[in-house]
Structure 1
């Protein structure tokens, strides 16, 4: 399986990609790139989000001073130690991460500082030493119309032409495919080595529901009941929730399958989708997507 490579999008390539996309952010440029601070870049992104900035959001600065000029931007799912080091090597000083940096949803760190946790301390010291700003872009990109993560995944899967904005989770394929072929398509397009599934590999699938990330069992089950898919595709689940619901549904004779992609790989294309948006907003600033990848190895 080919691994997804980090990439730079040139100004020309980014402009072409943005023009080709049916789902860009607005095209207004906030200010000349050399005058932009990191906070101004954040503000330019939030200007395209209905209702942003939100109260009680997790989209906050996790490290660093956003008033400094932006030197380079990295997008990623998780600001891991390896991603931070690569950011330093690129000469960038701004990481936009989709998920938490410090091991809990709100990035609350008192419990880590109170225990003098060495892993937290080393990561924080590395960020501080090199003046790296980490900002989480989770609530905002999901609140964009349409959801930027969903569109990035749909485009990566080449399913965006089967998307209905009035029913965002639903994908209706023009021709059905066996579950086995659907699994292979997902693995190839998203560079996934292995997935978990429930179902009959020869079952025909044409009506799909896509739920990247970790929306939770109640959200998953509500979507299944609303859209009645042949196959439900999610990023992550609690194994006492959605998977048990699918198992019982199949026992009762309902023809539904489940594919579990993994949290990180199921949303990574959304952060790639953000690259041409940023190149349009901050021309002249290097923007790089660095995939943090799956934390797990498989045997």
Structure 2
């Protein structure tokens, strides 16, 4: 449809540029405003700028390899920088991996105790040889105004209609057994651990991906009084024992333990979507690292 005002505006804009002796293709007027060359530091700083009260210290959200000044050729988002993930990055010419969990087997990614270990050395050498930067985005993504990991998990489970930006969801009434089947199907998890009666009714859900600690899980059970707690993991002598005792005294309380990796992988999918929206022009791939523990 002919739009005279729009065409006149574009003509005047081009005429002004021609009057300066500079010629721009009309497409350049758009592309000039879109940054396509980003460094690792640019992307880190951009994400952190969206987090309330950030930056903060201390934090585990630091570079584990590479440097802030390297230009990004592509990004992979995932839970863990496994060797399989690193090799996928090499295949895709992606030199920036954004992970949610540690790279070197401890929360702070301390490596002094590993310096003579061949497994650590192999991994560190592979990253260095291919110039791959690894940034852990754990504290910051959890502290977005809406927790990015929790939002990603809700998306994965298809529960957006019941999500009110906190850990409590009120689902249509179902059973503990049906919840387990739904999670297995949506998350591709072959088996789940649980406590409770599979036939018990379930509507009010407390969703706590990852591992926030048994005491915090129990404190939230006491406060929210849900039908079922869904978590990533918990020490067996803490929350699982509390839930078992609750059932032994006659309460109906369910616990579903997904596993840490699967319970938070949705957060890495969230990160991919965020990057595609805020960092245009950079190829981004979500490549799940999967679970290190298998079931038989």
Normalised TM-score (structure 1): 0.87
Structure 2 distance, partners of 1:112, 1:122, is 11
- CA displacement at 1:250 relative to structure 2: 0.9
Structure 2 distance, partners of 1:79, 1:72, is 15
Aligned to 1:262: 259
Aligned to 1:284: 281
Structure number with greater CO (CA < 8 Å, separation at least 6) is 1
Structure 2 distance, partners of 1:215, 1:141, is 15
Structure 1 distance, partners of 2:236, 2:35, is 46
Aligned to 2:189: 192
Tell whether the 8 Å contact from 2:205 to 2:229 is kept in structure 1 after alignment. Answer: yes
Deviations 1:9-58 (A, max 9, x none): xxxxxxxxxxxxxxxxxxxxxx8443311100111111100111111100
Task: Give the count of matched residue pairs.
Answer: 264
Structure 2 distance, partners of 1:60, 1:51, is 17
Aligned to 1:78: 80
Structure 2 distance, partners of 1:225, 1:161, is 25
State the SS of the aligned residue for 2:36: helix
State the SS of the aligned residue for 1:41: helix
Aligned to 1:204: 201
Aligned to 2:148: 148
Larger radius of gyration between Structure 1 and Structure 2: 2
Tell whether the 8 Å contact from 2:156 to 2:266 is kept in structure 1 after alignment. Answer: yes
Unpaired runs of 5+ residues, structure 1, are 1-30
Question: CA RMSD of the aligned region, Å?
Answer: 1.0
State the SS of the aligned residue for 2:190: coil
Deviations 1:213-258 (A, max 9, x none): 0111011001101110111110011111100111111111111011
Unpaired runs of 5+ residues, structure 2, are 1-32
Tell whether the 8 Å contact from 1:209 to 1:233 is kept in structure 2 after alignment. Answer: yes
- CA displacement at 1:211 relative to structure 2: 0.5
Structure 1 distance, partners of 2:295, 2:88, is 25
State the SS of the aligned residue for 1:43: helix
Matched, 1:170 2:172: no
Structure 2 distance, partners of 1:188, 1:176, is 18
Structure 2 distance, partners of 1:35, 1:119, is 34
State the SS of the aligned residue for 1:255: coil
Structure 1 distance, partners of 2:164, 2:92, is 39
Structure 2 distance, partners of 1:53, 1:32, is 26
Tell whether the 8 Å contact from 1:169 to 1:211 is kept in structure 2 after alignment. Answer: yes
- CA displacement at 1:164 relative to structure 2: 2.1
Matched, 1:43 2:68: no
